[in-house]
Amino acid sequence: MKKLFALLAAGLLAVMSGCGGQTASNESKSSAQEPVELHVSAAASLTDVMNEIGKDYEAEHPNVKVVFNYGSSGALQQAIENGGDADLFFSAAQKQMNALEKAGLLADGTRKDLLQNEVVLIVPKEGGKDISSFDQLTSDTITHVALGEPKGVPVGQYSEEILTKLGILDAVKAKAVYGSDVRQVLAWVASGEADAGLVYATDAAISSDVRVVAKAPAGTHKDIIYPAAILKDSKHLDTAKDFLAFVSNDKNKERFAKYGFEVK
């Protein structure tokens, strides 16, 4: 009888162990498929290309929803510093990323230089003033020049560097209208509300309502480098690392190039 009880107990233990193992396995599988909402803060100049990349990533990872927050790099930096929800940050300048790194807000070893851009002078495609160079921005016939707000918008900072090097900053500032990000500058010129504006070459390339009349002369501004990094407080570190690697793959390098970026 004792032998029978021992056999029954052993059998019951084996069944319970089997069930426990199956439950753990199912839980692990379920956990792997739990929906993830990945928050990506990105410079406004990346809007179109990052939307494409996000859709492709979601198609390959059905459990992941990529939520983008676009704006000026300065505004995004401040939002992150104030506790805003972000897993990754794609900046249009080193300054904002440097500030976050100095504050200890970046995940170790995840920062990388991703892209390079350039600044161009644009005018409305139809019916604009006769402008073909930066020097002409000082002409009395030009009343409104659209620039990025230099305190928080990288293209505005680069623009001031360029205009300072050319010796025309004060004259242009007298007629400047300042946009909250590069897309607002682009919109003002496209609509004719501004006679001219300074934007990234990649932004000019996506609009059929503006034309490029000049590129910023060599040596008039620092290199325009776009760094990317994962935030230290990311709730989805593994997914964030995977997304950053995905952004940097060969297919997406070609996509960035299609939009006019130089891939680092």
57 annotated binding-site participant:
no
The pair of structure tokens assigned to 179 is: 């946009």
pLDDT of 12 reads 42
200 annotated binding-site participant:
yes
77-121 pLDDT tens trace: 999 999 999 999 999 999 999 999 999 999 999 999 999 999 999
Q: How many helices (H) and strands (E) does the chain have?
A: 10, 11
pLDDT of 27 reads 33
Q: What is the 3-state secondary structure (H, E, C) of 169-229?
A: HHHHHCCEEEECCHHHHHHHHHHCCCCEEEEEHHHHHHCCCEEEEEECCCCCCCCEEEEEE
158 annotated binding-site participant:
no
Map out the domains of the chain with their CATH numbers: 34-116+225-263 (3.40.190.10), 119-215 (3.40.190.10)
pLDDT of 34 reads 83
146-163 pLDDT tens trace: 999 999 999 999 999 999
178 annotated binding-site participant:
no
Within 10 angstroms of residue 173's Cβ, the number of other Cβ atoms is: 14
The reply to whether the predicted model has a pTM over 0.85 is no
Residue count of the chain, please give it. 264
pLDDT of 24 reads 39
pLDDT of 32 reads 52
Q: With a cut of 50, which residues of the chain have pLDDT below it? A: 1-31
pLDDT of 11 reads 47
pLDDT of 264 reads 84
